[in-house]
Structure 1
Amino acid sequence: MRCTLFFVPPGEVAPLPVTFSQSKTIADLREGHCLLVPVSDDVEWTDNVWPKSIRELEGLISDSTGCPRFFENWVEEKSRESNKLLMVVAVRSNCCYGYLLGSPKITGYSETRVVPVFFDRVGELALDFPVPFELALSSKNLEALIKHARSFRPHSGDTQKDLHLRHALDELANTLDKYASRSQQA
């Protein structure tokens, strides 16, 4: 079985535009719920210890979360929604091993099948597309904004945030500069 999986955290962004911008083909897209389970580095993590049944998977999740009925409650709650896939992905460092859960509603929790899903590659989906907007400024204010955007050096103490803001300001200055040049030619 070959498929593409998109994990979109709830409430951050609508899944359809994200998946469409990445794959352009959404005819077979099915929504669902995925439980990401961190596995401690001190746990042996090889194919001979990976869970092979719902009970073994429940044991792994119980050990990882410290809550014996967490997984069963999650499955029962999420399986109430019709036509939604349920998946569990155990994550240890950059290694992921997943399970597609087969019809817990119909068979009942204890008889739920677990279908292994292997990941060749795990990456982060970056939602980074241009956002068009309209801005009307006087030419005097436009020049001041471009100059300030190019000269401002953020110093928040967080290098990552400062770099991100610096890139955003450069992008803003370049865009403003481009449109200022176009309006002067017109």
Structure 2
Amino acid sequence: MGNASHFALFDLEPDFRLDQDRLAVRYRELVRRVHPDRFAGAPEREQRLALEEAARLNEAYQTLKSPSQRARYLLSLQGEELSQETTVQDPAFLMQQMELREELQELQDSADLAGVARFKRRLVQDQEQLNEGFAACWADPRRRDEAERLARRMQFLDKLFAEVRQLEERLDD
């Protein structure tokens, strides 16, 4: 499989909008072929290559499965590297993030599991809007700067989702 892009590994066109079912089916097909158990009796070199290919498939699948990671990957294919630590230079967005984090802190302090569920639903809606916005920008090469800004926002939202999941786990205990 060489150095093919993540999209090429799964016989997909490099685009933000993906058929997730097709991706999952293709992933399962490919991973079955290189699963390390199939190479248990093979020479050590073949075992190592199968393990490396399985790891590469897993990484590619995880990247393409996640909208924010897929957006970052698409940008990287165009030479635009977004670091995980990149900041957003949009004061209104940063203020919104601060307000969301404060709201999440209040939900934690009050141990309001129902409130956390409502908060999470709002985040899902925000994520869907960002995904649609990125897809529209990605489809128009003249809007790649805007796509990059949206990808950065997607990263922030991912971090907030992780915090929500952690809070849910703490409140469930």
TM-score > 0.5, shorter chain as reference? no
Give the structure, 1 or 2, with the largest relative contact order (CA under 8 Å, sep 6 or more).
Answer: 2
The answer to which structure has the higher strand fraction is 1
TM-score using structure 1 length: 0.24
Which structure has the highest helix share of the two? 2
Q: TM-score, normalised by structure 2?
A: 0.25
Q: Which has the larger radius of gyration?
A: 1
